[in-house]
Amino acid sequence: MSYRKRLFLIGWMLSLVSTTALATALPANYKNLHAQLAVSGYVQSPAQLGALQADGVQVIISLLPDGEQVDFDESAAVQQVGIAYVSIPIATAADLTEANVLALDQALTAHAGEKVLVHCASGNRVGALLALRANWLQGMPEDAALALGQDAGMTRLVEPVRALLR
């Protein structure tokens, strides 16, 4: 094998290893919906924060209510690494309110041009809030808003969200 082919192969293998390492360090259900919006489940460690920063995340919007995640002080850890942090507590379907949808919209608008991660425990509440935002504030039709929500991780909240769509 030629020297150039060996260098190419080594570079390709290193790229694959670093991509795999980044993917395994990211939070569960991590997904880029587009270049400036990602969704996921729990952020559970400083290593995950480092992986998020490596993926370009500049802002984290947490939908976790106080006390849901007791073994990791996410707010303090996020601020310590220099990522902006916004908390919009969503505990149950009863919290899928216009005020909370507006709070999410305001946070996303305030951080336009930055890569934002919106997360909860699994992505279910994230998808629900994004579906409602798309329908209520952006005029997206019901079916498209539900599809967006499911793509973002909404599962158990499909029927409560369907009932709230306009």
Q: 114: how many CB neighbours lie within 10 A of its CB?
A: 14
The span from the CA of 166 to the CA of 27, in Å, is: 32
pLDDT digits (tens, 9 = 90+) for 80-131: 999 999 999 999 999 999 999 999 999 999 999 999 999 999 999 999 999 9
Mean pLDDT of 36-45: 96
Residue 4 confidence (pLDDT): 58
The pLDDT confidence band at residue 17, using thresholds 50, 70 and 90, is very low
Q: Per-residue pLDDT for 22 more than 50?
A: no
Q: 49: how many CB neighbours lie within 10 A of its CB?
A: 22
Per-chain mean pLDDT for the chain:
89
CA-closest candidate to residue 57, choices 103, 10, 119, 13: 119
* C-alpha torsion angle, residues 32, 60, 153, 144 (rounded to 10): -70
More confident residue, 111 or 79: 111
* CATH number of the structural domain 26-164: 3.90.190.10
The span from the CA of 30 to the CA of 23, in Å, is: 9
Residue 41 confidence (pLDDT): 96
Q: Which helix (H) or strand (E) holds 134?
A: helix 124-136
Residue 50 confidence (pLDDT): 95
The span from the CA of 61 to the CA of 19, in Å, is: 24
Q: HSE on the CB side for 51, CA within 13 Å?
A: 21
pLDDT digits (tens, 9 = 90+) for 123-139: 999 999 999 999 999 99
Residue 2 confidence (pLDDT): 62
Amino acid sitting at position 8: F
Q: What is the pTM of this model?
A: 0.84
Residue 16 confidence (pLDDT): 42
